[in-house]
Structure formats: C-alpha cells, structure tokens
A and B are shown apart, each in its own frame.
Chain A
C-alpha cells in the first residue's frame, strides 16, 4: 500500500530558530514527486516546496529546504529563521497516478 507517515502531530519552535518536520513514505514506483503543503488557519492549501525523486540535489525555496533520502524513503522539511507567519499545518504528499497521497499533517507552533 502507498502511504505517507508524518510521525510528529505537533511541533513548536522559537521564533527565528530552525525546525525540521519529518515525513516518510512507502511506494514501489521509481519516478515520483514529493511535496510539502502548508495549511494556515484560513484553510487555504499552499505549496511550499517540491522534490523530484530522480534528483539527488535537495530542493530549496528561500527559508525552506528538504532533506531527501530516497533509499530511506524519507523527505523532511527544514524551516530556517522561523517566523510567526509559518504557524500552520504542514502536509507531506507524493504524486501517484493522478492523485496526491497525503500524510496526516504536523501542526507547527511558533513561539514569539
């Protein structure tokens, strides 16, 4: 079965510090994309970053970067210099056959 596991239901971090959210997945496919989406209290789903499984280089978008370990099927998200606006639910997902397979999410709390 294709699954995505986010083992941290909730994480908290001090403003301006760095936090890492973990994600593991299980797939038998050889080519796929992995995504991190952010869902603030407004409920709007926003793409944060994406990673192609064939690329060894980790994706980076400003303060957001990933640590992609293909053999371990691990795809963690690192947020540097955390800001109050980063407070949200974060979902890990991968694209399989027209649909996104989602993890249960991690609630990120930013302490001022």
Chain B
C-alpha cells in the first residue's frame, strides 16, 4: 500500500533557488494538506485543498504556492528559497474534512536552505 508519497526525502537549496515538493496519494482522498515542522515545534499548516481545483491558505502560506489539478497530486512550490524555509515538510491527506477524519502522512521532506 503506497498511501501518501513525497519526493524528494532530502534536499539542499541555495538562497533564491526554486523547487517543487511532490506529493501523491492513491487513496482517492479529497482533502490534502501541506505542513511544515520546525525543530521543537508542532506542525503548522501551509496550504490545503478540499478537492481538485480548490486550494486555500493555512497558517503560514507566505513564500509557497500550490496547485491541485488532480485528486492524486498536490505539489508545493517554493519560488525564492530563504533560510527561514529550512524545515521538514509533510504532505497529508484525509477522506473528508469531518472532525474525526484521520490524516495520513507522507514520510516528509527535509529541506535545508543555505
């Protein structure tokens, strides 16, 4: 069972470079999320999507962009990398937005901006 797959697992970027973090899920989930996890902190929501073609900002969206052209894929784009974006990024999905819905996570991408 693949679940939620993120690539790459690790990446080093130079300041000002751009990159796309890929996320795909094979569970036919409508809801997908991008979180970042800074050391000693919980996860913070960057963007989320409730279905193909629909995205919305979370708590910390600045410096990021997303798109959702298919149910399966939800890439996260960093346009001009900054040291403040050094973090571990998690993609997650859930079947619905119900309060009880369990979120399934990818294994994360450790990004370092130097």
Residues of A within 8 A of B101 (CB): 95
Tell whether, in the assembled complex, residue A44 and residue B43 are in contact, meaning their CB atoms are under 8 Å apart.
no
- Interface assignment of A47: CB less than 8 Å from any CB of chain B: yes
Tell me the smallest distance from the CB of B110 to a CB of chain A, in Å. Answer: 8
Residues of A within 8 A of B31 (CB): 98
- Interface assignment of B74: CB less than 8 Å from any CB of chain A: no
Residues of A within 8 A of B108 (CB): 43-44
Tell whether, in the assembled complex, residue A43 and residue B107 are in contact, meaning their CB atoms are under 8 Å apart.
yes
Tell me the smallest distance from the CB of B49 to a CB of chain A, in Å. Answer: 10
Residues 19-53 of chain B: 1 if any A CB is under 8 Å from the residue's CB, otherwise 0? 00000000000010100000011111100101000
- Chain A interface residue count, CB cutoff 8 Å, equals 23
- Chain B interface residue count, CB cutoff 8 Å, equals 25
- Interface assignment of B99: CB less than 8 Å from any CB of chain A: yes
- Interface assignment of B103: CB less than 8 Å from any CB of chain A: yes
Partner of A99, one of B40, B41, B45: B45
**Known contacts A43-B88, A45-B90, A99-B33; A31/B99 CB under 8 A:** yes
- Interface assignment of B92: CB less than 8 Å from any CB of chain A: yes
Residues of B within 8 A of A105 (CB): 40-42
Tell me the smallest distance from the CB of A3 to a CB of chain B, in Å. Answer: 10
Residues 30-55 of chain A: 1 if any B CB is under 8 Å from the residue's CB, otherwise 0? 01110100000011110100101000
- Give residues in A with beta carbon < 8 Å to B: 4, 9, 31-33, 35, 42-45, 47, 50, 52, 91, 93, 95, 98-100, 102-105
